[in-house]
């Protein structure tokens, strides 16, 4: 399978990892620091990286939409992406709910394909 068929999953993994860094999840922060990548923990790097991974996720969900023609995964992914980017600044519980929405969108996209 070509890489284009897995963009939603790659984007989801990157989005979740980056969001957990932004939220200060201790295990992720410790891991990055332990492997010498602590410099990545700056908001100036994390926020554009989060935006990039969210766009990759949405592009992958859009490609899935072209295959199965069901709007739910794409719509859920779009709402969750916007919510994650907003809640990352406002409310950690809201950000975790948005991460759950992204995971559900990707699972639906895979199940429908």
Q: What is the pLDDT of residue 4?
A: 84
**pLDDT at residue 73 is higher than 90:** yes
Arithmetic mean of pLDDT, 61-82: 96
Q: Could you tell me the residue ranges of all domains in the chain?
A: 3-112
Query: Pick from 62, 66, 63, 74: which is nearest to 101 by CA?
Result: 74
Summary mean pLDDT of the chain: 94
Phi-psi region of 36 (alpha: psi -120 to 50; beta: other; left: phi over 0): left
Q: What is the pLDDT of residue 1?
A: 66
Q: At what angle do helices 7-22 and 92-112 cross, to 10 degrees?
A: 170
Question: The whole model's pTM is what?
Answer: 0.93
Arithmetic mean of pLDDT, 22-38: 93
| Spatial distance between the Cα atoms of 92 and 84, rounded to a whole number of angstroms | 9
């Amino acid at each position: 399978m070509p890489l284009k068929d897995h963009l939603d999953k790659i984007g989801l993994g990157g989005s979740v990892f980056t969001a957990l860094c932004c939220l200060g999840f201790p295990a992720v922060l410790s891991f990055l620091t332990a492997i010498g990548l602590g410099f990545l923990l700056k908001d100036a790097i994390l926020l554009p990286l989060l935006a990039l991974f969210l766009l990759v996720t949405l592009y992958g969900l859009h490609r899935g939409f072209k295959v199965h023609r069901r709007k739910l995964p794409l719509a859920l992914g779009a709402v969750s992406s916007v919510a994650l980017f907003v809640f990352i600044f406002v409310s950690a519980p809201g950000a975790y709910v948005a991460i759950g929405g992204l995971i559900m969108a990707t699972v639906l996209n895979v199940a429908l394909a």
